[in-house]
Amino acid sequence: MYQYIARRLALTIPVVFGVSIIVFGIIRLIPGDPARAMAGVNATPQFIEQVRVRYALDQPLPVQYGRFIVGFMQGDLGNSVFSGRPVTTEIGERFPRTMLLAVIALVIATMIGVSAGIVSATRRNSVFDNASMFIALVGVAAPVFWMALMLQLLFAVQLRLLPATGIGTIQHLVLPSITLGTASAALMARITRSSMLDVLRQDFITTARSKGLHERVIVYKHALKNALIPVVTVLGLQFGILLGGAVLTETVFAWPGVGRLLVDAILRRDYPVVQGTVMLLALLFVMINLVVDIIYAFLDPRIHYQSGSGE
């Protein structure tokens, strides 16, 4: 197992390396100039030239890439072209906020999604099943910004129960995390349900039932553990998506997270910030996938991670 983890960690190096080349290249392929984005229509040619020199944008691409990757390995992501502050500081301030939002959204999504999925599966075709699957469908389909605005109008403007925007208190977390968690909850409910139905149809469940086991034991001990494997995969992926994809939620609720930082940076062609943020998100995604794979082993003893077998 440890060998496996070490090997997986070693594998992240080429992945991150590949990501670095892609992100470095793509942001430079988009037309636009950081200096012009910064000073707008008023930019003088002298100023634009100065910014190019200051951020080494006048250097050949391989040199720029070399600087970036050497800096990255030393933990230095450069300075933001827009604010002039170190990229590590920019990300460091915002990342915990996005993390908080993503974790809470995921907890809400898992609690609601998995329990609704289990109930739906065990009471298949009941009113609850149909209703919750319909809601789940709406939840998956509803655009995030629409959902966000509707929640704001209802809970902030009409009922005056919750703040509409900003950060600071637990109340500020409620609407954004529900918005962010809804689609994940809906997806998880549907996956849990179908996975649970598959498992409940299998022979060992029939055997367990014929042994006269409690239905509760069957559902939670025998069926759930097996049914959770696809759910865990989705959960891991969703977490990655929530971390990197909270842009709309962060924008509508003025939540100063890493998603908004990234989008603003792309619009401003703030190369160092884009590079740093994408690298961080890529690293996290790789790590989350690793953790998901390890959790598999606990959920399903048939999966072994010794070299040569079971992969």
**Cα separations in angstroms, 105 against 100, 261, 296:** 8, 20, 23
Q: Which of 2, 42, 73, 74 binds another protein (CB under 8 A)?
A: 42
128 binds another protein per the rule CB under 8 A = yes
29 binds another protein per the rule CB under 8 A = no
**Cα separations in angstroms, 190 against 6, 115, 165, 193:** 34, 11, 31, 5
39 binds another protein per the rule CB under 8 A = yes
* Residue span binding another protein (CB under 8 A) among the ranges 43-51, 238-246, 282-290, 291-299: 43-51
* Residue span binding another protein (CB under 8 A) among the ranges 61-69, 121-129, 134-142, 303-311: 121-129
The nearest distance, CB 45 to another protein, in angstroms, is 5
46 binds another protein per the rule CB under 8 A = yes
The nearest distance, CB 228 to another protein, in angstroms, is 15
245 binds another protein per the rule CB under 8 A = no
222 binds another protein per the rule CB under 8 A = no
103 binds another protein per the rule CB under 8 A = no
30 binds another protein per the rule CB under 8 A = yes
Binding mask 268-287 for another protein (x = CB under 8 A): xx------------------
Q: For residues 135-174, which are near another protein according to CB under 8 A?
A: 149, 152-153, 155-157, 160-167, 169-171, 174
Residue 203 gets the label, from left (phi > 0), alpha (psi -120 to 50) or beta, of alpha
How far is it, in rounded angstroms, from Cα 311 to Cα 307?
8
The nearest distance, CB 118 to another protein, in angstroms, is 6
190 binds another protein per the rule CB under 8 A = no
The nearest distance, CB 88 to another protein, in angstroms, is 13
58 binds another protein per the rule CB under 8 A = no
**Cα separations in angstroms, 9 against 6, 16, 135:** 5, 11, 40
